[in-house]
Amino acid sequence: VVHEKMLARLSEVIPGRLRFFGPLELSMLCSGLMKLRYHNEKLLRRIADEVPHRLPVLEPSHISQIGYAFSALGYKDQMLYVDIADDVMRRIEDFTNPVELVQVVKALAKAEVVIPGLWECLVEAATSQWEEIIKGDIPSVAVQYLTAVASIDGNLVARGHPSANTQDFASAMCTVLLEKGDRLDLSLAARAIGSLGKLHRYNEEVWSPLLENVMNNIDHLQPDQISQVSLGLASAGRGHPIATPLLAGLSARAITIVDDYDVWCAANTMQGFAGLDKRDVKLFGALAKHLAKNDKLLEDATPQDIFLYIMANLVISKISAFEGQALGMALGALSVEIEGLLRRRIEELGQETTYGIVEFDDDAEDAFDIADEPEEDPLEDLVVRDELLISNARRDGRATEAEQIIFPAACRRGERSDCAEQLAAVRKICDTIGQGIEAWFGRRTAENGPFILAGVEVPDCPSIGVVAHSDGDVIFHSVTDAILGSIGLRDIGQYYPDTDPEWKGQSSDKFLHDTLKRASDMGFRVVSVDVTLVLERPKVGKIMPAVVQGLRQAIGDHRASVNVKARTSEKLNAAGEGKSVEAHAV
């Protein structure tokens, strides 16, 4: 039994002594907090501040333990995960232990870290280890990898960047399951089914031992396992010969243990059965009554839990439309009761935005007619708001392949005040746009510096340099100028003049950082940056990922969408003659 007072006292003492913690102690501390499920935001933030400084001396085992612990504890600040991801990419060859690598993959997948080339790098490293996995006695690692890769694949597909690497790796893990799937315990079998469903992979030989395992142990299934299996069957395994009898068993087991269901499992079980076109009114009725009558489930509900409640409520409301069924009428009353619970909890959270992303595949929509749209929407402003919020959701990495934005019923009934305020805030961001253009000329001399783009020195161009007061980084200069313009300030030369010796020879990222601070002090942040380089030579395609990453790191906000592209000017003007490089930033 853990004494709460002791943990509270430790939380006060540890921050002042972190500097004495070695790599092993630091990783053990994080693992201990995870095992105790002790989420103290202040303590976690202090540890997270310490980790980036320690990364160069941390072993792969330490990094994997720390990253996995923070993700398991639900730590939200992505800067920690971005720092870990950068370090892992730099020394990926050191992660030779499958267990350590899979912990990193799971942590970064859960945190939805977006860095160019990250997931391809991780999948390639993991794929190289699959022969070791298949030879060893560790089929559980294959399932963990499969779970993580399913998350990776979903993130990549949602952003329009599907990767063949993830599917190749899934094939490798299926080979492991084919040889050793019959040795998995019930929990791992359920996770494997859910992950195979997310990857939309079906092979009867792979699925058979997994489904038979579940069928033979159906009386031992827990709510999370039932939801995983039903979702997996809905996505990929519905054609298996034992799918139908298994679903009947899942329904009976779920009703038996309905009191053990939490928000997440209830909503996902409903979604799985809906996707299978199983209008199991008895099961949905049991889950609906459980959700409505146990309002304590909402006391500690997170925003994501609330969105899942909304999703479940949609399903319940559709079932209540069944004509001539007394149960349907009862479910309709429960639906209203659940809505009341939701509204009270939302008010307690004081959320400014009460929307979320939920997944429904085509079959679920057909089964319950969830995607119905009125011929005329009296709240046209909400349509615009939806589009903007979806765009922001994608930018923040929260979009999924099949997505809907669900708003509280209050908004749909015309209570627009909150919506109008939120729309005004979004429009403020959309209206705050600036443009910056920079151009530099010169040859490499003793006085002229090298050719630098976003902090990256361009290789193989010994004759090309820049004539500039600073280091002449055209990307940083153009972005700085664009930010100044977007917040209503004057051009870059007014704040960092070439007549001021303070800026002579300075790295251009100093201008950018100073300008970002000005913007932050005025209440702004960078949402999106798009830079177009115009140059004839040298060719910069090979270093473009590093250039994008350099700009992303300089901006320092993982939420910002950053893009850099290059083009020629078809032999026109100085850039076309190879005498200059231009950067246009928006």
252 and 241 belong to one structural domain: yes
Report the pLDDT value the prediction gives residue 144, as an integer from 0 to 100: 73
Instruction: Establish if 13 belongs to a structural domain.
Output: yes
φ, ψ for residue 561 (rounded to 5)? -90, 120
Residue that wins the pLDDT comparison between 39 and 166: 39
Report the pLDDT value the prediction gives residue 29, as an integer from 0 to 100: 92
Structurally, how many domains does the chain consist of? Answer: 4
The mean predicted confidence, pLDDT, of the chain is 71
Instruction: Establish if 163 belongs to a structural domain.
Output: yes
Lowest-confidence segment of 110-114, 340-344, 569-573 by average pLDDT: 340-344
400 and 296 belong to one structural domain: yes
Lowest-confidence segment of 84-88, 94-98, 545-549 by average pLDDT: 94-98
The pLDDT of residue 94 is above 80:
yes
Q: Which tokens go with 227?
A: 């939801």
Instruction: Establish if 410 belongs to a structural domain.
Output: yes
The pLDDT of residue 222 is above 90:
yes
44 and 126 belong to one structural domain: no
286 and 403 belong to one structural domain: yes
Q: Which tokens go with 55?
A: 């990364």
State which of 221, 256, 291 marks the end of a domain.
256
Report the pLDDT value the prediction gives residue 229, as an integer from 0 to 100: 92
Give yes or no for a contact between 127 and 373, defined as CB atoms under 8 angstroms apart. no
Of how many residues is the chain composed?
586
Report the pLDDT value the prediction gives residue 219, as an integer from 0 to 100: 93
Helix (H, G, I), strand (E, B) or coil at 506: coil
Report the pLDDT value the prediction gives residue 326, as an integer from 0 to 100: 42
Residue that wins the pLDDT comparison between 65 and 333: 65
Lowest-confidence segment of 89-93, 95-99, 415-419 by average pLDDT: 415-419
Report the pLDDT value the prediction gives residue 438, as an integer from 0 to 100: 58
Report the pLDDT value the prediction gives residue 300, as an integer from 0 to 100: 53
Give yes or no for a contact between 337 and 289, defined as CB atoms under 8 angstroms apart. no
227-258 per-position pLDDT tens digit: 989 988 888 888 888 988 998 899 999 999 99
pLDDT band at 495 (very low <50, low <70, confident <90, very high): confident
Report the pLDDT value the prediction gives residue 217, as an integer from 0 to 100: 92
Q: Whose CA is closest to 36, among 44, 16, 188, 306?
A: 44
The pTM assigned to this predicted structure is 0.47
Report the pLDDT value the prediction gives residue 249, as an integer from 0 to 100: 92
Report the pLDDT value the prediction gives residue 28, as an integer from 0 to 100: 92
The pLDDT of residue 444 is above 70:
no
5-26 per-position pLDDT tens digit: 888 888 888 888 888 888 889 9
Q: Which tokens go with 17?
A: 């002594």
Residue that wins the pLDDT comparison between 558 and 585: 585
216 and 72 belong to one structural domain: no
Percentage of residues in the chain with pLDDT exceeding 70?
Answer: 60
In whole angstroms, what is the distance from residue 308 CA to residue 102 CA? 28
β pairing state of 580-585 and 528-534: antiparallel
Instruction: Establish if 226 belongs to a structural domain.
Output: yes
Give yes or no for a contact between 584 and 478, defined as CB atoms under 8 angstroms apart. yes
287 and 400 belong to one structural domain: yes
In whole angstroms, what is the distance from residue 235 CA to residue 208 CA? 16
pLDDT band at 218 (very low <50, low <70, confident <90, very high): very high
Report the pLDDT value the prediction gives residue 185, as an integer from 0 to 100: 83
Lowest-confidence segment of 291-295, 344-348, 358-362 by average pLDDT: 358-362
75 and 202 belong to one structural domain: no
Residues 6+ apart with CB under 8 A from 380: none
504-535 per-position pLDDT tens digit: 767 788 888 888 888 887 777 888 888 888 87
69 and 213 belong to one structural domain: no
Count other C-beta atoms under 10 Å from residue 368's C-beta: 22
Count other C-beta atoms under 10 Å from residue 142's C-beta: 27
pLDDT band at 294 (very low <50, low <70, confident <90, very high): low
The per-residue DSSP string of 87-143 comes to HHHHTGGG---HHHHHHHHHHHHHHT---TTHHHHHHHHHHTTHHHHHHTT-HHHHH
Under DSSP, the state recorded for 497 is -
Average confidence (pLDDT) over 59-65: 90
354 and 455 belong to one structural domain: no
Domain encompassing residue 332? 262-431
Average confidence (pLDDT) over 400-424: 37
Report the pLDDT value the prediction gives residue 338, as an integer from 0 to 100: 52
In whole angstroms, what is the distance from residue 560 CA to residue 565 CA? 16
Instruction: Establish if 95 belongs to a structural domain.
Output: no
Most confident of 90-99, 172-181, 564-573: 90-99
- In angstroms, what CA-CA distances link 421 with 275, 389, 390, 433? 36, 13, 17, 20
368-380 per-position pLDDT tens digit: 333 333 334 333 3
Report the pLDDT value the prediction gives residue 155, as an integer from 0 to 100: 62
413 and 291 belong to one structural domain: yes
pLDDT band at 418 (very low <50, low <70, confident <90, very high): very low
The pLDDT of residue 274 is above 80:
no
Instruction: Establish if 101 belongs to a structural domain.
Output: no
Residue that wins the pLDDT comparison between 438 and 116: 116
The pLDDT of residue 385 is above 50:
no
131 and 201 belong to one structural domain: yes
Q: Whose CA is closest to 98, among 119, 122, 73?
A: 122
The pLDDT of residue 315 is above 80:
no
Give yes or no for a contact between 191 and 151, defined as CB atoms under 8 angstroms apart. no
State which of 217, 239, 256 marks the end of a domain.
256
137-149 per-position pLDDT tens digit: 556 777 777 777 7
329 and 466 belong to one structural domain: no
pLDDT band at 215 (very low <50, low <70, confident <90, very high): very high
Count other C-beta atoms under 10 Å from residue 237's C-beta: 26
Average confidence (pLDDT) over 563-575: 72
State which of 431, 446, 469 marks the end of a domain.
431
